[in-house]
Amino acid sequence: MRGLIIITLFWYIAFCNGATITAVSCSLLDVSNSVANASQGDTIIVPSGNATWTDEIRVSYKSIRIIFAEIGQTTITRDTTGSNSKRALFFLMDTTNTCYLSGATWRTVNPATFGIIGWGTAGPFKQQSIARFTRLKVIYTPSGAGISASGSRGITISGAYGVIDHCWLESTNASGGQMITIDTDNNASTSNTWHTVQSLGDTNCVCIEDCVFSGFAPNDGAIDMYVGMKATVRYFISTNTNFGTHGYDSSIRSSKSLECYMGQIYNTGTQAAPGYAFKLRGGTGVFWSNTVINISGTGIGSGLTHQYYRADTNCISLDTCPSICNGSSLEDGNFDSYGYPGLDQSGRGSFSVSSTWKSGAASYATNDYEALEPVYQWNNTIDGTNWLQSVTLNPGQDTNYVVNPTRLIQPNRDYYDNIARPGYAPLSYPHPLVVAQDGNNTPRTSRIRGISLMAR
């Protein structure tokens, strides 16, 4: 309740005195002019139509709302050929800013390295930032002839929190890319979540709810996460793709936590099999009441799998591992000869405020290292059968691994199956920001059904 009150007040203060501006059209020039003319708290209404944007519109430190016509009535096609890094629309935020974007179908001609649309901060980390994207469709696969989707992204969030709801994310071929990327800011200050107490079930996360993830093939996943970021994915429908995180192995630090629940995950068997529904390469989380259905074959055979690349002798050459977890790397806990616990591995939480980590010690006392924070899963099924978590070897790993990752990530210590996390309470549903803006009158099932119909 306290979170709802704070967010409602924040939103009311931001927009209570704002004006309404109607853009002349949905063209790049007309929307850009409307953004330039908007003041704090204003709302921009964009009429229906189709337009190609050849440059990025950046909304810098303005709390404004941009409302496009619904999916099917407006299509914005990003064509920044020659600069894959430019987005179509990006909200640059600070602790006093909020943003709102709704409507339209968003596409791209060339790969969108930093997403077609997004919000974020330049740093340092602004977890107080409040953003919302709602009722829009994003197809991240480039439409240009013969152009690969490798490295392309639909929505990117950088070093800030918020909510994505009632959205449709889609890929149209098997050449790669991610639907939603949850990343750090310019100076990676989001790693601070590993050094401050963090909770599950609160608004300090990127919350994705009532969304549809329509994958042609798994590619690089429905979501991916980096450097200390936290996410909640709930009440969703996913087809032919999966959900994962990046670890300390190929990033400055691992993502911090992932909560996934009440999802419907389907594999049609028409393309390469997703293999797993969820993958953690570090941090903690909860996974509950997710239903996996293989419509054809057994393409999703694993519910939740854990990996830790730093146990791999090939990690440095194949990835960007800064070191190997072998019992002597100073960043690891080194409670035993294998190096356990590895820095940011699955089942670990935050350091204590008084921790002496990085002091150069060969090993650490239990209370001086990252807290044990196991991963819990319960009430999840694959084709009607309860699934168990697993620990798998890393891509490219040979038989000369330094430490078998199953020695680092163990059941009934680092993760628990078919047991609810003690004391856990999920974030109130719908997200407090959605309640503050839309109320709480529509049943969840019709919300998902509605966005599915609108996006088709």
pLDDT tens for 373-425 read: 999 999 999 999 999 999 987 665 555 556 678 889 999 999 999 999 999 99
Range 235-249 average pLDDT: 94
- Separation of alpha carbons 155 and 182, rounded Å: 8
pLDDT band (50, 70, 90) for residue 318? low
- 172-201 residue pLDDT tens: 999 999 999 999 988 888 899 999 989 999
Range 220-242 average pLDDT: 96
Q: What is the pLDDT of residue 52?
A: 98
Q: What is the pLDDT of residue 8?
A: 60
- Who wins on pLDDT, 222 or 358? 222
Residue partners of 74: CB distance under 8 A and separation at least 6: 26, 46, 47, 48, 49, 50, 68, 103, 104, 105
The per-residue DSSP string of 330-361 comes to TTS--SSTT-SSPTT-BTB-PPPTT--TTS--
For the cut 60, the answer to whether the pLDDT of residue 304 exceeds it is yes
Range 101-121 average pLDDT: 97
Range 103-123 average pLDDT: 94
The per-residue DSSP string of 142-170 comes to --STT---TT-EEEEEESB-EEEES-EEE
pLDDT band (50, 70, 90) for residue 456? very low
Q: What is the pLDDT of residue 9?
A: 61
The helix/strand/coil state of 29 is helix
* Average pLDDT along the chain: 89
Give percent of the chain with pLDDT exceeding 90. 68
Q: What is the pLDDT of residue 446?
A: 46
- 422-444 residue pLDDT tens: 999 999 999 999 998 887 655 45
